[in-house]
Amino acid sequence: MPRVTVTRRLTFNAAHRLHNPELSDSENRSLFGPCNNANWHGHNNRLDVSVTGDIETKSGYVMDLKKLRDVVEEHLVDKMDHRNLNIDVDFMQGINPTAENLVVACWNVLAPVVRPARLTRLRLWETDNNYVEYEGP
Ligand code: NI
């Protein structure tokens, strides 16, 4: 059976502040720049969710991408969209919400709930120019 990777893109708008409480205010400002702004700021994020598997004979799909969308919306997007990642999002508590940390946290939430599909890549776009990718532990 040919093995194929399929991807669904979802978007969410979220506020955050990058801050390391172990550093001084001036160290935080120089490390994180505008992302250290005390009164938050937002990004229009895109999350590309990829699962890999065999093509099912009956449907011709690896996975119904509407089902994948529903799972990602329920477990990730509904929790993050129009929220503050530092304050509102249970799976980001105590984590500095860089794109890197966020993509790993999203993986940890999503991998168990997409089964039996196999999550193989998350690509998180924080801006049009910056994205991070994670392919699991
Ligand atoms: Ni930022």
Å from CA of 23 to ligand 1 middle? 18
Å from CA of 54 to ligand 1 middle? 38
- Name the residues around ion ligand 1, CB cutoff 5 A: 35
- Residue 63, CA distances (Å) to 88, 113, 120, 128 in order: 31, 14, 13, 28
**What is the per-residue pLDDT across 32-90, written as a single tens digit (0 to 9) for each?**
999 999 999 999 999 999 999 999 999 999 999 999 999 999 999 999 999 999 999 99
> DSSP code of 74?
I
Domain of 90, in residue numbers:
3-134
Catalytic residue ranges: 35, 82, 126
pLDDT at residue 1, as a whole number = 77
Structural domain count of the chain: 1
**What is the per-residue pLDDT across 78-128, written as a single tens digit (0 to 9) for each?**
999 999 999 999 999 999 999 999 999 999 999 999 998 999 999 999 999
Å from CA of 64 to ligand 1 middle? 33
User: What CATH number is given to the structural domain containing 18?
Assistant: 3.30.479.10
| In the chain, % of residues over pLDDT 70 | 100
Question: Taking the model in full, what pTM does it have?
Answer: 0.95
